[in-house]
Chains A and B, each alone.
Chain A
């Protein structure tokens, strides 16, 4: 071991003793570079200076000197070397770039135009001198000097689109959107690769400026500004307008058209609101119409039909499904998908009987999961329309948690509060989506205080709500509440009715019902009602009334878990914190 250590130690000693000697033996440039790497900037600078003394136009040494002087805040010392380098080789662009940075750092701003002038003469037609000048100005946050640099550059170069991207970004920093649009249009016409930068910088424009930006883009010639319009419209919540704009500016070649449409589709997929789903459906339809291979074309139409169905455009979904049916080369998977979508559509249209018939007819071609999902959808529709026995019978053999959750709802439709609670207890908290689980918890909390185990009117009211008639449901729940004893669910159900009135936009009824709930006998519901009342009044900008309701809630029900929410709303009502 010792024997092996000695040669290593000897080598280390040699390295330590010999290192400086080795360093001395290197050429001055390598030594300077080494010193720079070790952080000995002052020594490195001296060496670079020495090199420049012999070879004033040695750009590598000049750049090294700049690097060495910058961290020790002595960049202005480079100026004599820069002047000597320019005198020795007036055509070397990097020397001027170093000079610009050095003059700016030394606060000798008056010298910059002269230096830029020299550089521009040395490199005619080059934008770099003006771009570097502006960069030095922007480094000092001097926008007006940057603007002067760009304008002078454009004049000297004699090109109306010179430095357009830079001017556009300067305009963005000053929120001058119209100038930015004009300059980005020039930039993308010159180099389409600028499009993503244009969209990235115009995208965050405030809402009030967006119509002007779109108008300004419409005035610009060429396809590239049109493509910016498409992406901005899609980003700003107008996907259908974006699609129309895209279809107007599609390139003539089919392959390029498909590229553009598919890129647009990807952009739409980030949102799942009806307008975006509708735009997805239309875009998929456009892609399918241009697609040559039949199986993929059918798959695209299927996807389009699903998007249309999800957006609520049933005729368009049916149109797609009909076209799939007419396409004999679609393949069994596509046919099965089309069948499932068609059944789904029938359910959404309220044609549950027809959906059930189709479901059983195509049972063998549908994947099992699709079949079970559609069967539950049919059952849900029957249950909601009052055919509870039929719905329950359809799900009798389904032991999934989703089926138990659905059966619980059927029990509730039938007014069987106890049965619903038991079914939902069996279904547990993971049946369906998170929103569905949360809604079930809310309903469980609502029926818990109700005295009787059976309450037919409750089921009828819930069916109205699930059927989409929120206002009638609110009225029905109010009646249900009125019929319950004060200590057995009256307040809770009436509060629920108030929330539905508010949801249906019936503020006066909501306010009346919330006020009805508040009583000493039901502290939990009263606190919740006062909070809802405060929220409602605040939304109506009746701040004083909202303040009164919220103060009452905090003072009368101090132990309520809702008090922190009440205090936050109270701060908003008093305008002492920003509204969020």
Chain B
């Protein structure tokens, strides 16, 4: 579902005024296959046995053509699913805790939603998910593909040829991870010279740039960035993590200036590049200072933590999710649904976003209180939206190249990973008109 459809319709009728007592707990947790019921309530508070797979169960309900509802701010952002056999089976296999409830109980819950900062958002159509990654990318090196696999949400991998040939029109949701859209191979070129994985990355990128008719890799990546911007503008949902956030905007803002080191495009970076950037083209950032040294694997002062710059590196803290009005700001509320509101921070090549470089229109979804940076931001462009989440892997805070993969079955309650899955499901929501 595109965002234009998403904004169109009034949904989620609230049954108000029934005056039933709050149903925080519907008795002891029951496994759904033990009883048949009209509905299954999937609690997302601490009683949930696998928060991450709960999103997959909900997604597959939509895939089967059934409807679901997202109870924002109710029991950690619970889901209401049909109590049919397929859903019951799926939840049982996934180990997702569900509570069988009747129509009457649903009515009571909805009555309760109307009495606080809560809301019920209908979920209708599963978004078609694309992940931008080179063909040889390891599935274990991208938090989003890992969690999509773990939750059982289908996705397609696309790369430069598909993007340049307008392949994004097929998709509703696009994820970017640690790609470097400035075309400088994450600026590892000099420091990891000789490493086989880097040689492979360089060769692959140069080959695809040639194949697509671009003079060099930075030109290819800039064209890809512009296609991604157009995708959002048309109504797509973009979710980016790690260095894809920062470099996407740098690529977009540098259309008329050389910001790539000579090893990438044959000419050195323009020393006056920062002044010549056109930030009107960027999604989230403005007025950033660029890192001039090709030796330092950092791009600009957009990142607050500068993990690879020894003298500028900042220690990890924790970030806090903002509390939004569920009825006035349902999009932001959906994106921050969680059973924890303070989450330990984690590094990435881009870990956070300095407030100074954020455009005024940007919505901060989470930040580190008292620090000069935000962690999780959101905004709109044309008919679509984008969300940027700093860092590489929420359960591997010090992630290093070559680290063993994260096993998500050991982190089924990961609040950091939940934020990713909020983004996957939110395009499925049917949205009522904004009240303000």
A residues bordering B, Cβ < 8 Å?
73, 105, 107, 109, 139-145, 174-176, 551, 554-555, 558, 563-564, 567-568, 570-571, 574-578, 580
Q: Which residues of B contact A105 (CB under 8 A)?
A: 311
**A141 lies within 8 A of B308 (CB):** yes
Cβ of B379 within 8 Å of any chain A Cβ, yes or no, is no
Q: A144-B190, A578-B405 are in contact. List 13 more A-B contacts (CB 8 A).
A: A109-B295, A140-B295, A140-B296, A554-B92, A555-B93, A558-B34, A558-B92, A567-B95, A571-B409, A575-B149, A576-B152, A576-B408, A577-B409
Q: Which residues of A contact B93 (CB under 8 A)?
A: 551, 554-555, 567, 570
Partner of A140, one of B152, B310, B405: B310
Give residues 183-242 of B contacting A (CB, 8 Å). Answer: 190-196
**A580 lies within 8 A of B407 (CB):** yes
Contact status of A144 and B92, CB under 8 A, knowing A558-B33, A577-B407, A578-B407? no
By beta carbon, the residue of chain B nearest A563 is B95
**B149 lies within 8 A of A143 (CB):** no
By beta carbon, the residue of chain A nearest B34 is A558
Q: Which residues of B contact A145 (CB under 8 A)?
A: 295
Q: Mark B53-93, 1 if CB is under 8 A from A, else 0.
A: 00000000000000000000000000000000000010011
Q: Which residues of B contact A576 (CB under 8 A)?
A: 149-150, 152, 408
Q: Which residues of B contact A577 (CB under 8 A)?
A: 150, 407-409
**A142 lies within 8 A of B149 (CB):** no
**A571 lies within 8 A of B150 (CB):** yes
**A176 lies within 8 A of B92 (CB):** no
A172 to chain B, nearest CB (A): 12
Cβ of B267 within 8 Å of any chain A Cβ, yes or no, is no
**A174 lies within 8 A of B195 (CB):** yes
**A578 lies within 8 A of B310 (CB):** no
**A558 lies within 8 A of B89 (CB):** no
A535 to chain B, nearest CB (A): 16
Q: How far is the CA of A580 from the CA of B192 in the complex (A)?
A: 29
A559 to chain B, nearest CB (A): 8
Partner of B193, one of A143, A558, A564: A143
B306 to chain A, nearest CB (A): 13
Q: Which residues of A contact B297 (CB under 8 A)?
A: 141
Contact status of A555 and B190, CB under 8 A, knowing A174-B195, A175-B195? no
**A578 lies within 8 A of B140 (CB):** yes
Q: How far is the CA of A416 from the CA of B404 in the complex (A)?
A: 51
Q: Which residues of B contact A575 (CB under 8 A)?
A: 149
B259 to chain A, nearest CB (A): 18
In the complex, the 8 A-B pairs of residues with the closest C-beta atoms, listed nearest first: A576-B149, A141-B191, A577-B409, A174-B194, A578-B405, A567-B95, A142-B295, A576-B150
Q: Which residues of A contact B308 (CB under 8 A)?
A: 141
Q: How far is the CA of A145 from the CA of B193 in the complex (A)?
A: 11
Q: How far is the CA of A105 from the CA of B308 in the complex (A)?
A: 15
B371 to chain A, nearest CB (A): 19
Q: Mark B135-156, 1 if CB is under 8 A from A, else 0.
A: 0000010000000011010000
Q: Which residues of A contact B159 (CB under 8 A)?
A: none
Q: Which residues of B contact A144 (CB under 8 A)?
A: 190-191, 193
Q: How far is the CA of A242 from the CA of B340 in the complex (A)?
A: 54
Q: Which residues of B contact A578 (CB under 8 A)?
A: 140, 404-405, 407
By beta carbon, the residue of chain A nearest B152 is A576
Cβ of B322 within 8 Å of any chain A Cβ, yes or no, is no
Q: Mark B382-393, 1 if CB is under 8 A from A, else 0.
A: 000000000000
Q: How far is the CA of A143 from the CA of B409 in the complex (A)?
A: 37
Q: How far is the CA of A276 from the CA of B150 in the complex (A)?
A: 41
Q: How far is the CA of A567 from the CA of B408 in the complex (A)?
A: 13
Cβ of B31 within 8 Å of any chain A Cβ, yes or no, is yes
Q: How far is the CA of A558 from the CA of B31 in the complex (A)?
A: 8
* 16 CB-based A-B contacts, threshold 8 Å: A139-B310, A140-B296, A142-B191, A143-B191, A143-B192, A143-B194, A144-B190, A174-B195, A175-B196, A554-B92, A564-B95, A567-B94, A567-B95, A574-B152, A577-B408, A580-B407
Q: How far is the CA of A209 from the CA of B293 in the complex (A)?
A: 35
Q: How far is the CA of A580 from the CA of B311 in the complex (A)?
A: 38
Q: How far is the CA of A44 from the CA of B295 in the complex (A)?
A: 32
Q: How far is the CA of A142 from the CA of B190 in the complex (A)?
A: 7
B393 to chain A, nearest CB (A): 13
Q: Mark B152-177, 1 if CB is under 8 A from A, else 0.
A: 10000000000000000000000000
A276 to chain B, nearest CB (A): 27
Contact status of A555 and B408, CB under 8 A, knowing A140-B310, A141-B297? no
Q: How far is the CA of A174 from the CA of B33 in the complex (A)?
A: 54
Q: How far is the CA of A251 from the CA of B391 in the complex (A)?
A: 55
Q: Which residues of A contact B404 (CB under 8 A)?
A: 578
Q: Which residues of B contact A143 (CB under 8 A)?
A: 190-194
B402 to chain A, nearest CB (A): 9
Q: How far is the CA of A175 from the CA of B402 in the complex (A)?
A: 12
**A568 lies within 8 A of B409 (CB):** yes
B424 to chain A, nearest CB (A): 15
Q: How far is the CA of A570 from the CA of B196 in the complex (A)?
A: 34
Q: Which residues of A contact B31 (CB under 8 A)?
A: 558
Q: Which residues of A contact B95 (CB under 8 A)?
A: 554, 563-564, 567
